[in-house]
Amino acid sequence: MSRSAGASGREHILVTNSVALNGGDAAILLGLLRGVRRAFGPGVSVDVADEAFSAAARAYPDISFVPPLHGSARRPQGPIEALARSLRRRRVSAADALVGAAPALARLLLPPAGRAQLDRLRGTAAVISTGGTYLVEHYPLRRRLESIDIPARLGVPTYLYTQSLGPFADPRTARRVANALSRAARVFLRDGRSRDHLLEIGVDADRLSVHPDAAFALARAPGAAPPEPTRVALSVRHWPHHRTRTPEEGQRRYREAIGAVARRLAAAGARVTFLSTCQGQPEYRTDDARYAARIVEEHLAHVPGVEVDAAFRTPEELIDELAGYHLAIATRMHFAILALCAGVPVAPIAYEFKTAELFAGFGWEPRVTELESISAEALWRNVDATLADAAGIRTRLAEELPRLREAAMEPAERIREDLRGAAADHQSAPGRPPADPGTALGDR
């Protein structure tokens, strides 16, 4: 039996590094799955390793969620739990270093969830590390890299779906990222700057290609603009990683700008609704509706026409909801993408370079407001210009979305071509069977 088929004869793929309770990450995951199922056909089976797999399964019951390599990411509740988590983390790191040379010992070091994932790799066609922005220096990288590195060291074809990543200023971090990604079969990126960041740390250019964000696979044919009055959806988030001012000062300026623009829109007769991809999931660490409520309390109390919608929606439900709006002011990048998928003009606020790169591809870079230097005046200029050009933007989206939808699924096609090509090579050379991590790891 070839590596591309499991015990049932069906092709099996394992998706790692999922955080499906974050609606933006869920949009990436749904787009990835749509591409994989189209590329591999209805017989493919997919497991998704998610840090909150039980809660994710309740939110998305049609997806097979499993525990990740490291087990639950639940925060420790006391010093004993914190110590146990630290020891578990060290054991997984040791297993990562040993898995190529001493796989049986590496297996013993892993927690039960890690051993279960190694068992799951038997017959797995490929591991796909989901898309997103998690390989950046202001986020913890260890767990993410180990989830990529261990399957690759075992000889399982490992892919990174469409990413924004870097830059890597710390030499040690740069080496770790370069080592892990150099073992990957391919790295799919969302923008040219991310590609440059990997080239700078020595990742082979042949492994890299740039594609639209996976969430664009959810795009639909946009309809006509909704009737008046003007409806504006406004996504906000807490962002502490400021470069030129303290987190407190940066967030204060951000809230003031949002409040001033929302008040101005409401005074002009618009209905303004705070809405986000990250809300309504009590198991997730972030709820943007709470931050929106703080902005309303500080700057918009008793302003008619302003509301906070705190309900949870899946990405596809959010696209349905956004189709009824005239404009989205988006801090969350995937809130912006889902609005675009619904054919809605977007005035984006960029907290990382990925948002500016996304909109530069549309020719809208001058209308991106940088969160680092945000002011009410700058944000209003971009909102006003986007509203003025709304009809033209809708026309351009109707033309662009079919291409983006197809291009967003190209990475899955590339993965299928790689695996089918490898299978054909092995059939023509029967004396060289593919490596099986189960064999290397010994009997269970």
Q: What is the CATH number of the domain that holds 118?
A: 3.40.50.2000
Tens digit of pLDDT for each residue in 348-359? 999 999 999 999
The residue count for the chain: 444
> Residues 137-145: what's their mean pLDDT?
91
Q: Where in the sequence is the domain holding 239, given as residue range(s)?
A: 231-403
Same domain, 155 and 34: yes
Q: How many domains does the chain divide into?
A: 2
Whether 3 maps to a domain, the answer reads no
Same domain, 319 and 428: no
Shortest CA distance to 130 belongs to which of 334, 320, 338?
Answer: 334
Same domain, 206 and 238: no
Tens digit of pLDDT for each residue in 318-338? 999 999 999 999 999 999 999
Whether 19 maps to a domain, the answer reads yes
* The predicted structure's pLDDT at residue 81: 67
* pLDDT at 418 exceeding the cut of 70: yes
Whether 7 maps to a domain, the answer reads no
* pLDDT at 444 exceeding the cut of 70: no
* The predicted structure's pLDDT at residue 67: 93
Whether 145 maps to a domain, the answer reads yes
**Strands, E assignment, 147-303:** 158-163, 186-189, 208-210, 231-235, 271-274
Query: Can you read off the two tokens belonging to residue 64?
Result: 């097979």
Is the model more confident about 98 or about 155? Answer: 155
Same domain, 420 and 393: no
> Residues 1-17: what's their mean pLDDT?
66
Q: What angle do CA 367, 370, 371 make, to 5 degrees?
A: 135
* The predicted structure's pLDDT at residue 430: 56
Q: What is the pTM of this model?
A: 0.91
Same domain, 272 and 398: yes
Is the model more confident about 78 or about 147? Answer: 147
The letter for the amino acid at 180 is A
Is the model more confident about 93 or about 45? Answer: 45
Same domain, 170 and 268: no
Shortest CA distance to 10 belongs to which of 120, 109, 125?
Answer: 125
Rounded to whole angstroms, how far apart are CA atoms 51 and 31? 19
Is the model more confident about 46 or about 140? Answer: 46
Is the model more confident about 420 or about 423? Answer: 420
* The predicted structure's pLDDT at residue 440: 46
Whether 221 maps to a domain, the answer reads no
- CB burial string 33-60: b at 16+ within 10 A, e below: bbbbbebbeeebbbbbbbbbbebbbebb
Instruction: Give the rounded percent of residues in the chain with a pLDDT score beyond 90.
Output: 75
Same domain, 243 and 207: no
Q: Binning pLDDT at 50, 70 and 90, where does residue 203 land? A: very high
Average pLDDT of the chain, as a whole number = 90
Whether 357 maps to a domain, the answer reads yes
SS3 of the chain: helix, strand, coil, percent, to 5: 50, 15, 35
Whether 332 maps to a domain, the answer reads yes
* The predicted structure's pLDDT at residue 1: 31
* The predicted structure's pLDDT at residue 76: 58
* pLDDT at 158 exceeding the cut of 50: yes
Same domain, 341 and 394: yes
Q: Binning pLDDT at 50, 70 and 90, where does residue 421 land? A: confident
Tens digit of pLDDT for each residue in 53-111? 999 999 999 999 999 988 766 665 677 766 666 777 778 877 777 887 788 888 888 88
Tens digit of pLDDT for each residue in 210-262? 999 999 999 998 888 999 999 999 999 999 999 999 999 999 999 999 999 99
> Residues 271-292: what's their mean pLDDT?
96
* The predicted structure's pLDDT at residue 144: 93
**Strands, E assignment, 164-286:** 186-189, 208-210, 231-235, 271-274
Q: Binning pLDDT at 50, 70 and 90, where does residue 7 land? A: very low
DSSP conformational letter for 70: T
The letter for the amino acid at 19 is V
> Residues 355-364: what's their mean pLDDT?
90
Same domain, 110 and 239: no
Contact 343, 322 (CB under 8 A): no
* pLDDT at 425 exceeding the cut of 80: no
Is the model more confident about 425 or about 139? Answer: 139
Q: Binning pLDDT at 50, 70 and 90, where does residue 376 land? A: very high
Sole residue written with tokens 């986000």:
276
* pLDDT at 432 exceeding the cut of 60: no
Whether 62 maps to a domain, the answer reads yes
Same domain, 241 and 358: yes
Contact 368, 357 (CB under 8 A): no
Same domain, 380 and 421: no
The letter for the amino acid at 40 is F
> Residues 36-57: what's their mean pLDDT?
96
Same domain, 176 and 295: no
Shortest CA distance to 180 belongs to which of 134, 241, 220?
Answer: 134
